[in-house]
């Protein structure tokens, strides 16, 4: 029976997930920076000096801050100025998120390139930060972190269920299914469910868990609907604009409630809003290539 088979697959997947006990180790330099950020007596100069020891982290932080989509109007040319403009908490959120990217990198294959995955995630994160502000919301760096991690379940499948990952792609193609449908058929869970499972296990905040779980169905989210809707919109925008898109989202369409949530008078108005970001997405994607 198909339903019984899917339940068996789901149980097997959950057993694999339960064995993932902890987050990968954070690089020592990042650990030292976060210690400083947690100390209210830390000065801007102390923090800048510590961050300067990790040139790669510094370059990525400045790339994010200077990307057109992130929403900072002035050029951020130094760590000191980044700290001044963004503040300690936002710097901390960005650094921890970027450190996670480093620890979760994986080897590419002939059917998936993790570098493309992270570029997509970074563009959605920076886009969520700036676009949410333009839509009248003040989510701060939470929008960036939520956008960065929204598809983390895909990478988890690739890293820990690799044979099934390949089978999902093959099944979607051979049976004319969406990737989301193929996920449920092959492993019994969607990447949203997997991402949320691990996010809760890792004690991520509720808004981040919701962004991961509901980013394809924002109307089903109650407590953090506006943040989740922003992530959904920006995720779709990568497909609509053909920039930093992920083939996992090829069959995904915008939720019909976006017009009401963001007060767009028509679908044409929403599409015009999206198209106005075309150049910004291109420039951002180029600047954020890892």
The pLDDT profile of the chain, 290 residues, written as one tens digit per residue, is: 455 577 888 888 888 888 776 666 566 666 777 788 778 888 888 888 888 877 887 888 889 989 999 888 888 888 888 888 888 888 888 888 888 777 777 888 999 999 999 999 999 999 999 999 999 998 988 999 999 999 999 999 999 999 999 999 999 999 999 999 999 999 999 999 999 998 888 888 999 999 999 999 999 999 999 999 999 999 999 999 999 999 898 888 899 899 999 999 999 999 999 999 999 999 999 998 86
CA 216, chain centre distance (Å): 13
Alpha-carbon distance of 268 to 79, in angstroms, equals 41
- Closest to 59 in 3D by CA, of 106, 34, 95, 35: 95
Q: In this structure, are residues 46 and 79 in contact, taking their beta carbons and an 8 Å threshold? A: no
Task: Write down the pLDDT at residue 157.
Answer: 94
Structure tokens at 132: 């949410």
Alpha-carbon distance of 125 to 191, in angstroms, equals 18
Alpha carbons within 13 angstroms on the beta-carbon side of residue 145 total 23
Task: Write down the pLDDT at residue 1.
Answer: 45
Alpha-carbon distance of 147 to 263, in angstroms, equals 22
Cα-based torsion angle of the residue sequence 206, 211, 212, 213 in order, rounded to the nearest 10 degrees: 80
**Domains by residue range for the chain, with CATH:** 25-103 (no CATH), 107-287 (1.10.3210.10)
- Closest to 141 in 3D by CA, of 93, 101, 95, 75: 93
């Amino acid at each position: 029976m198909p339903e019984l088979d899917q339940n068996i697959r789901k149980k097997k997947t959950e057993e694999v997930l339960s064995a993932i006990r902890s987050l990968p180790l954070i690089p020592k330099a990042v650990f030292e920076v976060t210690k400083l950020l947690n100390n209210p007596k830390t000065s801007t100069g102390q923090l800048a000096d510590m961050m300067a020891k990790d040139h790669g982290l510094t370059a990525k932080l400045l790339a994010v801050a200077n990307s057109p989509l992130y929403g900072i109007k002035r050029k951020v040319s130094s760590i000191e100025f980044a700290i001044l403009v963004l503040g300690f908490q936002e710097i901390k959120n960005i650094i921890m998120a970027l450190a996670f990217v480093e620890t979760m990198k994986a080897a590419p294959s002939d059917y998936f390139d993790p570098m493309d995955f992270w570029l997509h995630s970074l563009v959605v994160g920076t886009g969520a930060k700036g676009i949410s502000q333009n839509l009248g919301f003040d989510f701060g760096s939470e929008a960036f972190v939520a956008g960065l991690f929204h598809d983390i379940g895909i990478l988890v499948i690739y890293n820990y269920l690799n044979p099934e990952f390949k089978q999902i792609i093959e099944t979607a193609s051979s049976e004319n299914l969406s990737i989301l449908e193929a996920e449920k058929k092959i492993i019994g869970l969607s990447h949203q469910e997997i991402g949320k499972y691990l996010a809760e296990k890792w004690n991520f905040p509720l808004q981040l868990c919701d962004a991961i779980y509901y980013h394809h169905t924002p109307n089903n989210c109650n407590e953090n609907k506006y943040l989740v809707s922003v992530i959904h919109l920006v995720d779709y925008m990568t497909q609509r604009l053909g920039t930093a898109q992920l083939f996992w989202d090829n069959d995904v369409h915008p939720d019909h409630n976006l017009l009401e949530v963001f007060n767009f008078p028509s679908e044409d108005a929403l599409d015009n809003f999206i198209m106005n970001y075309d150049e910004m997405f291109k420039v951002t994607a180029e600047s954020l290539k890892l």
